[in-house]
Amino acid sequence: MTPPSEAPTITRAELERLALLSAASLDALEPMLLGCPVRKLARGETLIAVGTDNRHLYLVLSGELGVHLDSPESPPLAKLGPGEAVGELSLIDRQPASAHVIAAEPTRVLMLDEDLLWILADSSHAVAYNLLRMLAARLRSGNKIIQREREQLEQYKFHASIDALTGLFNRYWMDKMLSRQMDRARGGKEALSLLLVDVDHFKQFNDRHGHVAGDAALRSVAAAMRAVVRPTDLLARYGGEEFAVLLPGAQLPNARDVAERLRSSVHSTTIEHFDGTPLSSVTVSIGVTQMLSESTLEAFVEKADRALYRAKNAGRDRVEPAD
């Protein structure tokens, strides 16, 4: 650790640059500040460590400090240059430091102990006002960090529920929605229907055209179905070449109509390779069921799955209702 310097090395210009002393009378305050130690920090040296007690306000005279929340090796959350201050929060609330403060380059800081800080605040209205402004700015910065973290969390949740290839929701999301919609339908005595959609002969399509073309086919199928369903319908890629469509409020005849429109939309969709080359079209088979007495998500899906296999066995490119 580099010790504080023995002799004052502060210039008047450096004092005038300090935000804590903005609009204050330097002639009255300078004699008190000239006796304060100046600490010199080498690049990478820690000024404040998380969990330590801090009894100083540090005013940056030259160089740059980085504020690191997680660990000293993490990217700095903020950078503090000449004129700025650090350490005021732990100094005022007397709680252990909540961040690492590390020199990003050779840095000099003026060290104000807590007794002197309060003497300066009592002596100068400007110093007291500037200290309040510093605290307010730190709180605002903390609020921005919290908001940014919330937004990032929402993004993580969003991406965790979205299938990257098709842009549809994924099975994880659909299973959650299935359970919720089943409870809602029971409580409100409302109809609820489910479609399971499977692309016919998809393995052969991949073998013939390649996996890149297979991805293009799945995106085209997703787009064709998205264009048909209502805004209130819930559409997801359920796994591989299988899709699920949940139809709140739809009884079985209405669900069959929706399934036929989906099947027709996919059948008439032109699939293009990434270079614009037309590919052979694909078809889908669809199993349709309405929730009646099913008590579990698994039983509901199983009934639609049996209908889907009947559609496959009956020749594909068709819709089959559940028993």
Burial degree of 138 (CB within 10 A; 0-12, 13-18, 19+):
middle
Going by C-alpha positions, the residue among 101, 115, 107 that lies closest to residue 5 is: 107
With H, G, I as helix, E, B as strand and everything else as coil, classify residue 13: helix
Q: Which long-range contacts (CB under 8 A, 24 or more apart) does 208-212 make?
A: 208/280, 209/273, 209/279, 209/280, 212/273, 212/274
DSSP 242: E
The answer to whether 30 touches 10, Cβ cutoff 8 Å, is no
Residue 283, Cβ neighbours under 10 Å: how many? 16
Rounded distance between C-alpha atoms, residue 134 and residue 118, angstroms: 15
Rounded distance between C-alpha atoms, residue 45 and residue 42, angstroms: 5
Indicate the Cα dihedral angle 200, 203, 206, 207, nearest 10°: -130
The answer to whether 193 touches 288, Cβ cutoff 8 Å, is yes
Per annotation, catalytic residue among 88, 241, 294, 320:
241
Helix H or strand E encompassing 144: helix 125-161
Going by C-alpha positions, the residue among 222, 200, 160, 216 that lies closest to residue 283 is: 200
Catalytic residue status for 88: no
Burial 249-274 (b: 16+ CB within 10 A, else e): ebebeebbebbebbbbbbeebebeee
Rounded distance between C-alpha atoms, residue 113 and residue 1, angstroms: 18
With H, G, I as helix, E, B as strand and everything else as coil, classify residue 59: strand
Report the catalytic residues: 241
